[in-house]
Structure 1
C-alpha cells in the first residue's frame, strides 16, 4: 500500500496568483459590460448581478493580497 504525502503549503507565489485572478476578473467584467449592448433586459440584469458579485469578490481578493503580502514581509512563505 502506497501512502501519499501531502504537498507542503507553498504560499510563495500567492500574491502573484491572486493579482492574476484580479486582472482576469476585471477583464471578464469589462467583456460582460461590452456584451450588455447586445442583450435583452434579462441578459443585462443577469450581467449586472454577476458583475456586482465580481465586485464583492474583488474586494475580498484585494484584502487577501494585502494579507499575503504582509505574511510574506513577515517571513511566512509556507
Structure 2
C-alpha cells in the first residue's frame, strides 16, 4: 500500500510537468527523503533581479539540456515581469 501511494504521488508530480532548473522532473518527496542542503535565506522583499541572480548561480550548466535552458529562461523572464 505504501508503494502504490508513493507511486501515485510521483505520477501526479510527473503529470504536472514541473521541472527543476536543470530540466529534470521534480519528483514528489517522500517523508523520509533527505532534505536538500540549505541555501542562503533571502530577505522578505528581495528584488527580483537578486532572486534571478541567485537562481542563475545555482544552475548546473553541465547538466542543462537545451529545452531546460529555454524553460529556465522563460521562468526567469516571468520572475522579472
Which interval holds the TM-score relative to the shorter structure? Answer: 0.3 to 0.5
Of structures 1 and 2, the one with the larger relative CO (CA 8 A, separation 6+) is: 1
What's the TM-score, normalizing by structure 2?
0.34
What's the TM-score, normalizing by structure 1?
0.35
Which structure has the larger Rg? 1
The answer to which structure has the higher helix fraction is 1
